[in-house]
């Protein structure tokens, strides 16, 4: 590797799978779809990037991972470092500031996904003209909806700015607490827009619900399958995006494990390495790699939690459960409805926090007994996010292990793409229709591909068809110009 003017990092063999958003469809000897693989970003390079840094730098440095969910990495790393400094029992002001930051992140991320990525599929139908089926098509035909999406996203970004200190690469969460509270002058503009945001969130979840209900029969056959589900839950089983214990349920809703202390995650979750990918494949240890794969994210969270502690979102969750027949929903496309239930939950939580005087408190940081190892888990917008660190007596990080939500969802996405390919592959040609449906199935999981570089000239989606001998049969690339 060539020396750079800054930090020099040598990572072998390569740090990421080439061609982010690359899909390989493998055919059997008869020319039928055997399986599909969706290649996503490799993270172990980043784990080495963190090694050798002082622990207090980590909550800021990890935000380099991603331009979409930096707050999730910021908070997960800060929670881990809380334990390193013995400060995991945060002051009320510190915990509520972090929660507000997290709900702001969830709100803006879910709004972005729905309006930018999902709404074109839902509003126009995913068999519609690809040249109009994107956010700009929404802007042309539904400009009020497009402006609403932008303003919701901006509202969440503003919450991040006032809690983290900056819109991107904030510094608000520090080991043992936070470095600022919420000033009244920062709070009041957010309060002024709150009612509008809640109304829009209610309208958006209604749109997602009505779409799902109107298409529930056809969606059952679209990239859907039973699976295990993993998420954090609160002690009483409530949905909790910031903290709690790990719960896993099977396809029938039976408990596999519950209220697992994050410090013990390795007793319950293992990671498999496969020869064709540098990426890790997490699985539930007791079920083994073949049966232990699981979903994470909004669908898994709404399936796994016992209830939601905010009334509007809870009413929606009950409808969601009813539609699924009281069992965990298997619909890949139900991710959208579940995501919007969480959007509503986030704004209800933001409402409560903005009215809480603890946010103006001044007791910001605690310290306790120093530790050398810590694990933290948060529910990032895309799913469960694990951060695990070891820190030596010189305060330097000696080990970092991250399991990101897109990694956990890798096997479900492969299955969704396999299912769609089996349904829509006609002969040995990658048609526009196949490409579109593969996109729709992957998009439902909201995978984070933005951890990669995005320099001009790189491509976002590349679908390959390979025969049983591994020979390339067909290839189709979709770049940013469609």
Partner 1 sequence: MARVLVYGYGNPGRLDDGLGPALIDALAAHGCPGDVTLETGYQLQVEDAALVAPFDLVVFADAHASCAPPFELRRLEPLHAADFTTHSLAPEAVLALARDLYGSRAAGFVLGIRGDRFDDYGEGLSPVARRHLDAAADFLRQALRDGTGELRCPSPGR
Report the residue number, 248 or 343, with the smaller CB distance to partner 1.
343
> Is the Cβ–Cβ distance between 253 and 315 less than 8 Å?
no
Report the residue number, 263 or 450, with the smaller CB distance to partner 1.
450
State the Cα–Cα distance between residues 435 and 415, nearest whole angstrom: 16
Q: How is residue 55 annotated by DSSP?
A: G
Asked if 468 touches partner 1 (CB under 8 A), the answer is no
Report the residue number, 79 or 443, with the smaller CB distance to partner 1.
443
Q: In the set 20, 110, 247, 295, which binds partner 1 (CB under 8 A)?
A: 20
- The nearest distance, CB 463 to partner 1, in angstroms, is 10
Asked if 140 touches partner 1 (CB under 8 A), the answer is yes
Helix (H, G, I), strand (E, B) or coil at 367: coil
CA angle 18, 23, 29 (to 5 degrees): 120
Asked if 146 touches partner 1 (CB under 8 A), the answer is yes
CA 448 to chain centre: 7
Task: Give residues 242-271 in contact with partner 1 (rule: CB under 8 A).
Answer: none
Report the residue number, 20 or 301, with the smaller CB distance to partner 1.
20
> Is the Cβ–Cβ distance between 73 and 109 less than 8 Å?
no
Report the residue number, 107 or 257, with the smaller CB distance to partner 1.
107
Q: Which helix (H) or strand (E) holds 461?
A: strand 461-466
Report the residue number, 232 or 440, with the smaller CB distance to partner 1.
440
Q: Which stretch binds partner 1 (CB under 8 A): 2-10, 85-93, 315-323, 357-365?
A: 2-10
Would you give the binding string for partner 1 spanning residues 166-195, x where CB under 8 A is met? --x---------------------------
Asked if 461 touches partner 1 (CB under 8 A), the answer is yes
At residue 335, φ and ψ (nearest 5 deg) are -50, -35
Q: How is residue 426 annotated by DSSP?
A: B
> Is the Cβ–Cβ distance between 47 and 402 less than 8 Å?
yes
Q: Which residues contact 48 (CB under 8 A, 6 or more apart)?
A: 9, 11, 400
Closest among 146, 118, 133 to 482, alpha carbons compared: 133
- The nearest distance, CB 425 to partner 1, in angstroms, is 19
Asked if 448 touches partner 1 (CB under 8 A), the answer is yes
**What residues pair up with 401 in beta bridges, in sequence order?**
388
Residues contacting partner 1: total by CB under 8 A: 69
Question: Within 13 Å, how many C-alpha atoms sit on residue 233's CB side?
Answer: 23
3-state SS string for 1-26: CCCCCCCCCCCCCCCCCCCCCEEEEE
Provide the greatest CA pair distance for the chain: 69
Report the residue number, 132 or 365, with the smaller CB distance to partner 1.
132
- The nearest distance, CB 150 to partner 1, in angstroms, is 5
Is the previous residue joined to 13 through a cis bond, with omega within 30 degrees of 0? yes
Q: In the set 206, 254, 454, 475, which binds partner 1 (CB under 8 A)?
A: 454
Q: In the set 71, 350, 434, 442, which binds partner 1 (CB under 8 A)?
A: 442
Asked if 65 touches partner 1 (CB under 8 A), the answer is yes
State the Cα–Cα distance between residues 368 and 358, nearest whole angstrom: 22
Buried residues in 461-478 as b, exposed as e (16+ CB within 10 A): bbbbbbeeeeeeebebeb
Report the residue number, 90 or 449, with the smaller CB distance to partner 1.
449
Helix (H, G, I), strand (E, B) or coil at 251: coil
Q: In the set 86, 123, 128, 139, which binds partner 1 (CB under 8 A)?
A: 139
Report the residue number, 134 or 422, with the smaller CB distance to partner 1.
134
Question: 7: buried, middle or exposed (CB in 10 Å: 19+, 13-18, 0-12)?
Answer: exposed
Q: Which stretch binds partner 1 (CB under 8 A): 41-49, 213-221, 266-274, 278-286?
A: 41-49
State the Cα–Cα distance between residues 85 and 212, nearest whole angstrom: 46
Task: Give residues 70-89 in contact with partner 1 (rule: CB under 8 A).
Answer: 70
Report the residue number, 112 or 205, with the smaller CB distance to partner 1.
112
Asked if 412 touches partner 1 (CB under 8 A), the answer is no
- The nearest distance, CB 45 to partner 1, in angstroms, is 5
Q: Which residues contact 104 (CB under 8 A, 6 or more apart)?
A: 71, 155, 156, 157, 158, 159, 160, 163, 346, 350
Task: Give residues 107-136 in contact with partner 1 (rule: CB under 8 A).
Answer: 112-113, 115-117, 120, 131-132, 134-136
- The nearest distance, CB 451 to partner 1, in angstroms, is 9
- The nearest distance, CB 470 to partner 1, in angstroms, is 24
Report the residue number, 23 or 173, with the smaller CB distance to partner 1.
23
Q: Which residues contact 260 (CB under 8 A, 6 or more apart)?
A: 245, 246, 247, 267, 268
Q: Which stretch binds partner 1 (CB under 8 A): 85-93, 150-158, 223-231, 299-307?
A: 150-158
Chain positions contacting partner 1, by CB under 8 A: 1-9, 11, 14-16, 20-21, 45-46, 48-49, 61, 64-65, 67-68, 70, 112-113, 115-117, 120, 131-132, 134-137, 139-140, 143, 146-147, 149-150, 153-154, 157, 168, 439, 442-443, 446-450, 452-458, 460-461, 478, 480-482
């Amino acid at each position: 590797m060539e020396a750079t003017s800054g930090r020099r990092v040598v990572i072998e063999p390569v740090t990421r799978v080439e061609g982010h958003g690359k899909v390989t469809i493998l055919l059997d000897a008869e020319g039928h779809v055997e399986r599909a693989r969706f290649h996503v970003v490799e993270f172990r390079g980043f784990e080495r990037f963190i090694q050798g840094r002082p622990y207090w730098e980590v909550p800021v440095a990890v935000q380099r991972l991603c331009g979409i969910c930096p707050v999730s990495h910021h908070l997960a790393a800060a929670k881990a470092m809380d334990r390193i400094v013995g400060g995991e029992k945060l002051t009320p002001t510190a915990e509520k500031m972090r929660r507000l930051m997290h709900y702001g992140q969830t709100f803006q991320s879910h709004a972005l996904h729905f309006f930018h990525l999902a709404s074109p599929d839902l509003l126009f139908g995913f068999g519609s003209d690809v040249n109009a089926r994107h956010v700009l098509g929404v802007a042309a035909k539904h400009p009020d909806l497009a402006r609403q999406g932008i303003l919701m996203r901006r509202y969440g970004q503003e919450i991040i700015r006032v809690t983290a200190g900056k819109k991107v690469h904030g510094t608000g969460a520090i080991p043992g607490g936070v470095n600022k509270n919420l000033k009244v002058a920062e709070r009041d503009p957010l309060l002024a827009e709150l009612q509008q945001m809640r109304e829009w969130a209610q309208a958006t979840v209604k749109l997602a619900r009505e779409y799902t209900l109107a298409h529930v029969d056809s969606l059952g056959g679209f990239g859907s399958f039973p699976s295990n589900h993993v998420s954090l839950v609160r002690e009483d089983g409530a949905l909790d995006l910031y903290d709690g214990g790990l719960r896993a349920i099977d396809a029938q809703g039976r408990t596999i494990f519950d209220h697992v202390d994050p410090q013990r995650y390795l007793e319950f979750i293992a990671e498999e390495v496969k020869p064709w990918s540098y990426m890790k494949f997490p699985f539930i240890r007791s079920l083994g790699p073949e049966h232990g794969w699981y979903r994470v994210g909004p669908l898994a969270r709404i399936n796994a939690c016992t209830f939601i502690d905010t009334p509007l979102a809870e009413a929606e969750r009950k409808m969601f459960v009813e539609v699924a027949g009281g069992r965990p929903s298997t619909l890949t496309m139900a991710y959208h409805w579940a995501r919007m239930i969480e959007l509503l939950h986030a704004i209800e939580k933001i409402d409560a926090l903005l009215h809480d005087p603890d946010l103006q408190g001044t007791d910001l940081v605690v310290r306790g007994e120093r530790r050398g190892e810590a694990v933290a888990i948060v529910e990032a917008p895309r799913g469960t996010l694990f951060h695990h660190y070891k820190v030596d007596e010189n305060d330097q990080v000696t080990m970092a292990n991250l399991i990101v939500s897109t990694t956990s969802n890798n096997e479900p996405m492969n299955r969704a793409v396999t299912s769609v390919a089996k349904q829509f592959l006609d002969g040995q040609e990658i048609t526009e229709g196949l490409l579109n449906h593969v996109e729709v199935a992957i998009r439902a999981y909201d995978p984070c591909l933005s951890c990669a570089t995005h320099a001009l000239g790189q491509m976002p989606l590349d679908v390959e068809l390979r025969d049983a001998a591994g020979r390339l049969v067909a290839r189709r690339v979709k770049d940013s110009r469609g």
